[in-house]
Structure 1
């Protein structure tokens, strides 16, 4: 007698609709509004899943991170809606439209809506050109700009450029790894190198703008005999490049120069003249006849 095994019916695989966004996992972070460690731990023990599995150090670190996260505040966020005729509609999102709009003004250091719209469209055009025009990437760009806290609209404009330049450099590097032909790899490598150099210069420009054109020039005089270095620090206003020929005490290109006249490496100092009359120096030649 043979047993007939029933074949299991295979369940058809679920088809994912094209363009459907994956479900996001939401994590709610509690914010204990108290300075008491015991009270804060009691609130976290109630609201944090898996709190009982953490040891003492992990609980203290979690509490510190939560407080630091609260001090930073929530960045500006927008909601993107596809228009029927093409393009995107960008609107502030959150419980309060006024609060969200003011956050956008602060992100771009703007006092009106016009520069906010200008910078927002610049970001949208770039992300759309590389196929990354979605809420996640757009809000990531806003978070970067907000974290740098631009002090004026010039810095906000530069920060938009910095984000786009960095993203373009990373894209060139990622395509470089999958390049099959040497000319293609060389082209992508040169492009990535130029973009990374531009990104570095943009960071230097931002730092120079925040310094206000103040430049610190250090002149180092090295005495090779004594083995000591004297550092003189000068502050030049204007942010230009100081030239050695314009500085009377410049150390030269190599950073070392001749020792000062009268310097004694043994530390005896320069002799001081006295009032006594100096002895006559004997005449070097003698009156003796020379030998042939």
Structure 2
């Protein structure tokens, strides 16, 4: 089925085009027609991903050629998808994708173009991100395959083996996404400093959040005391309010000797 995409920003004009070319338009209610029009117009605003045509070589390899009305436009789309400034990185990433897809029996035009669509949709900023996106696609595909093998397994050891493998691959996939997020944040750090003050028998927690790796400043604290103002209470503090005894200047009485100086008996 071919879905017509109205080349207009006018909603009424888009409705007239869709009414003529979409089968079953008259069976849709008002809300469904509005939703179809909105989705068709949004789809037009998206850039089309790069696509290639794959041909098997006599020696067993693949010949990959860009497709489209303009070969120049198709090549530029491939370069942009991998954030590459020459054809060499494009060929390297293509070889990596084909090697993995061939190992699982999925080296075909549809699967390769699906990988290209994923990578292009993530808009890699540089070749490091493009390389990571290739890894992310392969890791996700391997995890789904492990899950499917676990679902079709007949014996408990097989279920455990594929289940453990799927869990490891999914964990790796999550860490890859976190790595990509850190790369795009540019190394920004978020540091939390928690100060606990339990003076007076109550715990008061003050939280300072610092971004960018710089140390926070405590404006309420004397600079001469350092961090002593935020430490725990001194030993001997009485939460009930009883003061600590203060010694007087009077000297204590002399303690009598337990034994007097008497001559010892033989």
- The TM-score, its normalising length taken from structure 1, stands at 0.69
Of 182, 207, 211, the match for 1:231 = 207
Structure 1: state its 5+ residue gaps: 1-25, 239-247, 250-256, 261-280, 286-292
2:149 is the alignment partner of 1:168: no
Of 37, 49, 53, the match for 2:23 = 49
Of 69, 78, 83, the match for 1:109 = 83
1:227 is displaced (CA, Å) by 8.1
RMSD, matched Cα? 2.8
Aligned residue number for residue 142 of structure 1: 116
1:182 is displaced (CA, Å) by 2.6
Which whole-Å CA distance do the structure 2 matches of 1:107 and 1:119 have between them?
11
- The TM-score, its normalising length taken from structure 2, stands at 0.76
1:228 is displaced (CA, Å) by 6.8
Contact 1:79–1:92 (CA under 8 A) maintained in structure 2:
yes
After superposition, the C-alpha distances for 1:85-114 in whole angstroms (9 at most, x for unaligned) are: 212111111111111111111100001100
1:195-206 alignment, distance < 5 Å: 195-206=169-180
Aligned residue number for residue 7 of structure 1: none
Which whole-Å CA distance do the structure 1 matches of 2:183 and 2:138 have between them?
20
Deviates more, 1:155-164 or 1:53-62: 53-62
**SS at structure 1 position matched to 2:189:** strand
Structure (1 or 2) with the greater helix fraction: 2
1:70 is displaced (CA, Å) by 1.5
Contact 2:81–2:119 (CA under 8 A) maintained in structure 1:
yes
> What is the number of equivalent residue pairs in this alignment?
225
Structure 2: state its 5+ residue gaps: 215-225, 235-245, 251-266
1:1-292 alignment, distance < 5 Å: 26-33=1-8, 35-221=9-195, 230-237=206-213
1:222 is displaced (CA, Å) by 6.4
Contact 2:189–2:212 (CA under 8 A) maintained in structure 1:
yes
1:221 is displaced (CA, Å) by 4.7
1:205 is displaced (CA, Å) by 0.6
Change (3 A) 1:41 1:223: farther
After superposition, the C-alpha distances for 1:2-26 in whole angstroms (9 at most, x for unaligned) are: xxxxxxxxxxxxxxxxxxxxxxxx4
1:186 is displaced (CA, Å) by 2.0
Aligned residue number for residue 5 of structure 1: none
**SS at structure 2 position matched to 1:49:** coil
Change (3 A) 1:258 1:60: farther
Which whole-Å CA distance do the structure 2 matches of 1:78 and 1:183 have between them?
41
1:217 is displaced (CA, Å) by 2.0
Change (3 A) 1:48 1:222: farther
Which whole-Å CA distance do the structure 1 matches of 2:145 and 2:232 have between them?
52
1:237 is displaced (CA, Å) by 3.8
Which whole-Å CA distance do the structure 2 matches of 1:47 and 1:215 have between them?
53
